[in-house]
Amino acid sequence: MKSKKEKKCGFNSNLSTASGIPKPPEIDAKLKGRLKIAVFFTALIFFAELIGGLLTNSLALLSDSAHVFMDVLALSLSLLAIYASERPPTSNRTFGLHRVEVLVALINGISIVLMALFIFYKAYFRLINPEEVESVGMLVVALIGLIVNLGVAFYLMRYAKNDLNIKSAFLHVLGDAVASVGVIIGAVVIYYTGYYAIDAMISVFIGFIIFLGATRIIGEAAHILLEGVPKEVSLPRVVDDITDLEGVAGVHSIHIWSICHNVYALSAHIEVTEGIDISRNEQGCLISDINEMLADTHHITYTTLQLDCSRCERGKLFRTMVHEDHGHGHSH
């Protein structure tokens, strides 16, 4: 039988049953600075490849510019999430504007899918009737894109280990660098062989990357809007970690969801072991221990916890919600 984990009473002496542990303002300020730099240089690559693709008639470059645009969007959404989190809650929007990020991601994910389909459409006709491509200009633009991407990736690399936003940005920029390598290979093949169809082949490859990335964005946005458990969080492990704490007999009516892509929330009923008087200061101690564990182990920083006596009838782990009439009918 596992022994209960004992914790020191209370990491926050004024903790209430609804708790949040926001990041210090200076951390958000540094994160905003890094993301702004990443957005700026990634946007430069986007415009360079877009203009270069039009001037050289390279569908591969134009496709890669669409791929880079998707990454500009992802980085911008991370930045938007930080600014949205600074907006205070109101009586109409008690969670603030965190979900703006999710709505923008959903809309843009759908538009990127349409963009990928357009690339496939153009590539089909390019494969049937290959068009001449100016390979030297294509190579120069792709090389510039590769160099800038590697520079941004190197800048973000040392911060990526400790911050999920920066890690996501780092992986996006690394993906751009790989796509640039594909365009460079295509430009070299065209220069030496004159085989223009490879431009369309590379654009199809990049189009598939864009399509898969866009469907992932749509899926993640829909998962958040449907109040799904964040993929980084294991609900059974959360339950086990809570019940392992001294003073906890069980958990029921638990809900875990994302407010936005990196802000997790939880509500639950906590069954207290017999002998703990939940009407006294012990409840503050116990809630503090649970909140500290959830923040440190699972990155869940917004919680609403209700303590129940273990002698009371225990509820189910999950609670079914029932649609009810809100009293809009009129009595006669």
pLDDT of 176 above 90:
no
* Mean pLDDT of all residues belonging to the chain: 79
- Alpha-carbon dihedral of residues 324, 327, 329, 332, nearest 10 degrees? 130
Q: How far is 24 from 15, CA to CA, in rounded Å?
A: 17
At residue 16, the pLDDT reads 37
Mean pLDDT value of segment 157-168: 66
Q: What is the pTM of this model?
A: 0.70
Give residue-wise pLDDT tens across range 201-233.
998 988 888 888 888 888 888 998 898 999 889
The answer to whether 104 touches 224, Cβ cutoff 8 Å, is: no
At residue 192, the pLDDT reads 92
| 24-225 belongs to CATH 3.40.630.10 | no
Start and end residues for every CATH 1.20.1510.10 domain found in the chain: 24-225
* pLDDT-derived band at 11, boundaries 50, 70, 90: very low
More confident residue, 112 or 57: 57
At residue 293, the pLDDT reads 92
Start and end residues for every CATH 3.30.70.1350 domain found in the chain: 230-309
More confident residue, 78 or 68: 68
Mean pLDDT value of segment 256-279: 81
The answer to whether 242 touches 270, Cβ cutoff 8 Å, is: yes
In the 8-state DSSP scheme, what is residue 5? B
| Alpha helix stretches (DSSP H) within 97-251 | 99-128, 135-160, 164-193, 197-225, 235-243
At residue 201, the pLDDT reads 92
Give residue-wise pLDDT tens across range 124-146.
998 898 888 998 999 999 999 89
| 230-309 belongs to CATH 1.10.260.40 | no
pLDDT of 22 above 60:
no
pLDDT of 38 above 60:
yes
- What are the beta bridge partners of residue 309? 272
Q: How far is 59 from 47, CA to CA, in rounded Å?
A: 15
* pLDDT-derived band at 26, boundaries 50, 70, 90: low
- Angle at which helices 135-160 and 25-56 cross, to 10°: 170
Highest mean pLDDT among 77-91, 103-117, 172-186, 194-208: 194-208
